[in-house]
Structure 1
Amino acid sequence: MNDYQQFIANVKKKTGIDLAQYKEAQMKRRLTSLYEKRGFKNFHEFFTAMEADEKLFHEFLDRMTINVSEFYRNAKRWEVLEKKILPKLLEQNKRLKVWSAACSTGEEPYTLAIILSKLMPLSQVSILATDIDENAISRAKIGVYSERSLQEVPEEIKKKFFTKEGLHYKISEAIKRAVIFKKHNLLSDPFDVNYDLIVCRNVLIYFTEEAKHVLYHKFNKALKPGGIFFVGSTEQIFNPRLYGFETEDTFFYRKIQ
């Protein structure tokens, strides 16, 4: 077993996270740059240090899970969600069950809550937001963001739902109340069922083809018939019927079975 394979085994034993399900070249490069920056010579030294230093362990999780996000990322797709997808879903059911999977630091579920608030009373909006990284979830719950995270947010939305505090913006308490954050590992934890909408964007690209194959089936089972799966703009599913989906719009897939 080489240095990296041993590291994978150690991490899985410690956390339940299976790095073997992630594309090896990308993950190895990202983690090597981290351990070299911190002065370690190999993965063995890095893991030993992580065992003793919780801060380093959280830094590893941050690096592993990327955590690059922003509000209304790829704004045109959110427009399709607001104008086409959600009105159809709301015709079927006035109280939608919504999951933002791999939600990182919260920009995505909060964007969802803002959009849903235009279509229904905010008091009726409830979104489950999950991520593998507890550090990211803690930051999401605080709800404070840099100017860069808000570059796609329309001005009227910024005025309505954000308060400027120095160089940062704090999201409103009403939007925060609409989102419930929980820790969840997509690869190993069970999925709840009967969702009307699942949003999982810009994370599947980091998984191997085998892991993606498993996840598409799991997401399909988690949706109601007719439910929608919304993916990122580099994550088109080329054979959606293989997983029980049909294309509803670009990057939106409807469950057909």
Structure 2
Amino acid sequence: MDLEQFKDWVLKYFGINLFAYKSNQLHRRILSLMSRVGVESVEEYIKLLKSDYAQRQKFLDFITINVTEFFRNPELFKELEREIEKYSREKNKNLKVWSAACSIGAEPYSLAIIFDNLKNGGRQSILATDIDSTILERAKKGEYTLTDIKNVEKFYKDKYFKLKGYQYVIDTSIKNMVTFKKHDLILDNYEKNFDLIVCRNVVIYFNQDIKDKIYQKFSASLKKDGLLFVGATESIYNYRDYGFEKASTFIYRKL
């Protein structure tokens, strides 16, 4: 069995479409994982994943790229905050927001903190989705390490986190602003009428065909003038093809 057949198995067994990922990069990641656990063939690795829950979870975490932190690239979050404030003032105070591929929840909770401090008099609804059910359960707990919150300003840290042992637990009022749900960006349908979609440091791992489809679907899911916020390495050079204009360096506005 080769890696292409392994990807077929992963699609059937886990419902994750690895064919959408850039092949060379993905193959290196899979071979690295196999090497770490001391298996030499794809067949051996499949047996291990079927029988060992911990290894199965390591595989899913590694493949679905659960790397994140609060206010990742703080200067870009400042730009987003300015755009949200302007949008809220001019267009809509009641914001419907989607944090796609939210991982451990640092991103949607960062957004909730921004909205809580915006105090625009409106209501904010934040949908946070990820393909990994286990990581979503962790996100719902709202418990973080010092590394996870290293970019959080002291004022926010004091206001929204409580230290319990070695974990920083986020305030219930912030937790209650976010709804978590399992969602596959490649295989599932997208909700509509969002004012803001945040999807950072994920699409970069997909091949160009899949990227095109995702950006088209994001555009269709946004209201007119709605905002799309992407990662610091994910400039969309052909943004006009998806019906966007540039609002800021990594923020796009739906036309």
Check if 1:213 corresponds to 2:212: yes
- 2:201 maps to amino acid: N
- 1:55 maps to amino acid: A
Distance in 2 between the 1:122 and 1:105 partners? Answer: 28
Distance in 2 between the 1:217 and 1:90 partners? Answer: 27
C-alpha distance 90-12 of structure 1, shift in aligned 2 (>3 A): farther
- 2:44 maps to amino acid: E
Residue pairs, 1:25-40, within 5 angstroms = 25-40=24-39
C-alpha distance 147-55 of structure 1, shift in aligned 2 (>3 A): same
Cα drift, residue 90 of structure 1: 4.2
Distance in 2 between the 1:51 and 1:90 partners? Answer: 52
Cα drift, residue 144 of structure 1: 0.8
Answer whether contact 2:21 2:207 (CA < 8 A) is retained.
Answer: yes
- Superposed CA offset, 1:18-56 (max 9, x none): 101101121111121112211211222112221223332
Residue pairs, 1:33-112, within 5 angstroms = 33-112=32-111
Distance in 2 between the 1:168 and 1:51 partners? Answer: 32
Structure 2: which 5+ residue stretches go unaligned? none
Answer whether contact 2:93 2:122 (CA < 8 A) is retained.
Answer: no
CA-based RMSD of the aligned residues comes to 1.5
The farther-off stretch of 16-25 and 30-39 is: 30-39
C-alpha distance 242-121 of structure 1, shift in aligned 2 (>3 A): closer
Cα drift, residue 122 of structure 1: 9.3
Answer whether contact 1:90 1:96 (CA < 8 A) is retained.
Answer: no
Answer whether contact 1:163 1:170 (CA < 8 A) is retained.
Answer: yes
Answer whether contact 1:116 1:122 (CA < 8 A) is retained.
Answer: no
Match of 1:240 in 2: 239
SS in 2 for 1:44: helix
Answer whether contact 1:217 1:243 (CA < 8 A) is retained.
Answer: yes
Query: What's the TM-score once normalised by structure 2's chain length?
Result: 0.96
Match of 2:165 in 1: 166
Structure 1: which 5+ residue stretches go unaligned? none
Answer whether contact 1:62 1:135 (CA < 8 A) is retained.
Answer: no
Using the aligned pairs only, state the percent identity.
Answer: 46
Answer whether contact 1:122 1:178 (CA < 8 A) is retained.
Answer: no
C-alpha distance 174-121 of structure 1, shift in aligned 2 (>3 A): farther
Residue pairs, 1:188-203, within 5 angstroms = 188-203=187-202
Residue pairs, 1:119-198, within 5 angstroms = 119-120=118-119, 124-198=123-197
Distance in 2 between the 1:184 and 1:176 partners? Answer: 19
Distance in 2 between the 1:99 and 1:197 partners? Answer: 6
- 1:238 maps to amino acid: Y
Check if 1:252 corresponds to 2:251: yes
Distance in 2 between the 1:232 and 1:153 partners? Answer: 18
The farther-off stretch of 21-30 and 235-244 is: 21-30
Distance in 2 between the 1:170 and 1:208 partners? Answer: 37
Cα drift, residue 16 of structure 1: 2.1
